[in-house]
């Protein structure tokens, strides 16, 4: 069996993406073979392609997808042939028609969730889960600043916060994107291209600052984000869309109010099989209950992967983006 697979032979821009035909074998112990119906697109894919997150080359790309299990290796008990399934998992390689991969982070997909939604929601939804439930205690009545609130993670986060009584201040780069975040549950929105977001946050919070900042933008928002926190507040830096955060002095955290900071990754949180499956079950419940709706605003054929990357990096996307097969 063969599969069209997107690979890179060198790090670079979207032009480095190539489509190759690769053999797909049988799953070994602890593995499954899955045939994809839809594939998710994420900023981490761009980081890996560019070399910000270096990979051993040549490499296949893509971290999430949804489809049907075609074969199951020895010892795999939570999935069987014919099951609908979705995942966000290492190793990369989801930009393909079919693949063999470790089974531990592949999750049974409820019938009420489409393959397209499954492919769009796993990495972004599980990221939202660990931001709100596993990084620092956040309770009803707390206030969170969330950058890029109209993006894939952002729109899920807006809905998640609203469903749990959390005040979310969302930033975005246009009035249209701010309106989209508000439509999805953001309590307040800030257009960071027309307003000083740190000043606006102080106004919104009566000078107190927010309990938590969730920042996937990186270099361009980092200092302002620290200035938005209340004393003892938590800065969660979980992405680098504008570039990596430069080195800074730990004394800065002391001077700004004994602040806390963490740089988590999803893959640490889901490394344990049981934890991953539990997180996915809680995410699926958010979606099937109607608390969170997965918005897919862009769809590209697998063959147009370079254009998909260009569109994502140009900040021209809202909600989630998928690849179709």
- The dotted CATH code for 136-263 is 3.40.50.720
Is the per-residue pLDDT at 205 higher than 90? yes
Is the per-residue pLDDT at 27 higher than 90? yes
Q: Candidates 3.90.180.10, 3.40.50.300, 3.30.420.40, 3.40.50.150; correct CATH number of 2-123+267-324?
A: 3.90.180.10
At 114-123, the pLDDT tens digits run 999 999 999 9
pLDDT band at 11 (very low <50, low <70, confident <90, very high): very high
pLDDT band at 317 (very low <50, low <70, confident <90, very high): confident
pLDDT band at 254 (very low <50, low <70, confident <90, very high): very high
At 144-190, the pLDDT tens digits run 999 999 999 999 999 999 999 999 999 999 999 999 999 999 999 99
DSSP 58-75: SEE---EEEEEEEEE-TT
Strands (E), the chain: 2-8, 17-23, 31-40, 59-60, 64-72, 84-88, 98-102, 106-108, 143-146, 167-172, 188-191, 210-215, 229-237, 260-262, 296-301, 320-324
Q: Which of 98-107, 108-117, 235-244, 269-278 has the least mean pLDDT?
A: 235-244
Boundaries of every domain in the chain:
2-123+267-324, 136-263
Is the per-residue pLDDT at 222 higher than 90? yes
């Amino acid at each position: 069996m063969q599969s069209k697979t997107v690979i890179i032979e060198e790090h670079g821009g979207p032009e480095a993406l190539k489509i190759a035909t690769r053999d797909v074998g049988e799953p070994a112990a602890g593995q499954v073979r899955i045939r994809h119906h839809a594939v998710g697109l994420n900023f981490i894919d761009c980081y890996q392609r560019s070399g910000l997150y270096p990979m051993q080359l040549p490499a296949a790309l893509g971290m999430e997808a949804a489809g049907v299990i075609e074969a199951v290796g020895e010892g795999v008990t939570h999935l069987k042939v014919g099951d609908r399934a979705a995942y966000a998992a290492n190793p990369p390689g989801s930009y393909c028609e079919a693949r063999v991969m470790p089974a531990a982070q592949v999750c049974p997909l409820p019938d009420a969730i489409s393959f397209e939604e499954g492919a769009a929601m796993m990495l972004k939804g599980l990221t939202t889960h660990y931001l709100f439930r596993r990084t620092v205690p956040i309770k009803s009545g707390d206030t969170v600043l969330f950058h890029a609130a109209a993006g894939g993670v952002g729109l899920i986060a807006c809905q998640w916060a609203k469903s749990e009584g959390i005040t979310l201040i969302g930033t975005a780069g246009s009035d249209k994107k701010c309106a989209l975040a508000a439509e999805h549950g953001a309590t307040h929105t800030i257009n960071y291209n027309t307003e000083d977001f740190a000043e606006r946050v102080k106004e919104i919070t009566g000078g107190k600052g927010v309990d938590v900042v969730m920042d996937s933008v990186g270099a361009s928002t980092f200092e302002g984000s620290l200035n938005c926190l209340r004393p003892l507040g938590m800065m969660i830096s979980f992405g680098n869309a504008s570039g990596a955060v430069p080195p800074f002095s730990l004394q800065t955290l002391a001077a700004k109010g004994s602040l806390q900071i963490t740089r988590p990754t999803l893959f640490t949180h889901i490394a344990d099989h049981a934890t991953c499956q539990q997180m996915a079950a809680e995410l699926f419940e958010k979606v099937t209950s109607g608390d969170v709706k997965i918005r897919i605003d862009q769809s590209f054929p697998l063959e147009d992967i370079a254009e998909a990357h260009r569109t994502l990096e140009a900040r021209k996307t809202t909600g989630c983006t998928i690849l179709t097969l």
